[in-house]
Amino acid sequence: MSKITVAIVEDNLEVSQSLELLLNSTEEYVCIGTCPDTATALQRLPDLYPNVILMDINLPDESGIICIKKLKPFLPQSQIVMLTMYEDSEKVFEALASGAIGYLLKRTTKENLLAAIKEAHEGGAPMSMQIARMVVKSFAGISKTNDVKAALTEREWEILEHLAKGKRYKEIATSLFIATETVRSHLRNIYEKLQVRSSTEAVLKYLSTK
């Protein structure tokens, strides 16, 4: 199985090296390049064509948001995920509007970061829970509780509740005394009924009911 190729745009050398080490210590991911600024990213990444790019916002020459706008024409198939300490709504929406597919905070756990990279590669929109809540609050008139809940069975709603609490599939299975594969099967039904493509999008719909 071919590995998911990842590039890092991050000016903090310690953070960049830590991410590179994490990726290269796995069987599923590989870091194919690190860039400390926008200029280097524009010079190197179009030739590397990574599956996923982890992008910081606060770069020394131009912001990561500007970097996205300049990179996208050369890398239309690369999925860009913001990985930053900023969580104010203006930067979140500017990044997403510029072409980022996801937005994660740097305090995201290693396990969740790797899962988010895979989710982005598969077409999902990974977001830290705090960011997801912020996005939901910005939407007016999204699905009401009854609309979302009525579409699901009692078990599916229960699984979605656990998912929204940040539990992983195995943890949900243990809590509900069912098999992990049963959880996956229910989630596929949830995605279809809510017309979403990922767990993040499903959780966003759930949070919109709160």
For the chain, which ranges sit under pLDDT 70?
1, 133-146, 210
Q: What is the pLDDT of residue 140?
A: 44
CATH numbers and ranges of domains, the chain: 4-136 (3.40.50.2300), 141-207 (1.10.10.10)
Q: Which amino acid is at 127?
A: M
d(CA 56, CA 19): 12
d(CA 39, CA 99): 18
- pLDDT tens digits, residue range 65-78? 999 989 999 998 99
The answer to whether the CB of 103 falls within 8 A of the CB of 124 is no
Q: Bridge partners of 29?
A: 4
- Collect all residues with Cβ–Cβ distance below 8 Å to 62 and sequence separation of at least 6: 37, 38, 39
Q: What is the pLDDT of residue 92?
A: 81
pTM: 0.66
Q: What is the pLDDT of residue 210?
A: 62
Q: What is the pLDDT of residue 136?
A: 60
- pLDDT tens digits, residue range 113-122? 999 999 889 8
- pLDDT tens digits, residue range 123-148? 888 887 777 766 666 554 444 555 77
Q: What is the pLDDT of residue 5?
A: 97
d(CA 2, CA 208): 37
Q: What is the pLDDT of residue 197?
A: 72
Token pair of 124 as six digits:
């999902």
- Collect all residues with Cβ–Cβ distance below 8 Å to 172 and sequence separation of at least 6: 159, 162, 163, 183
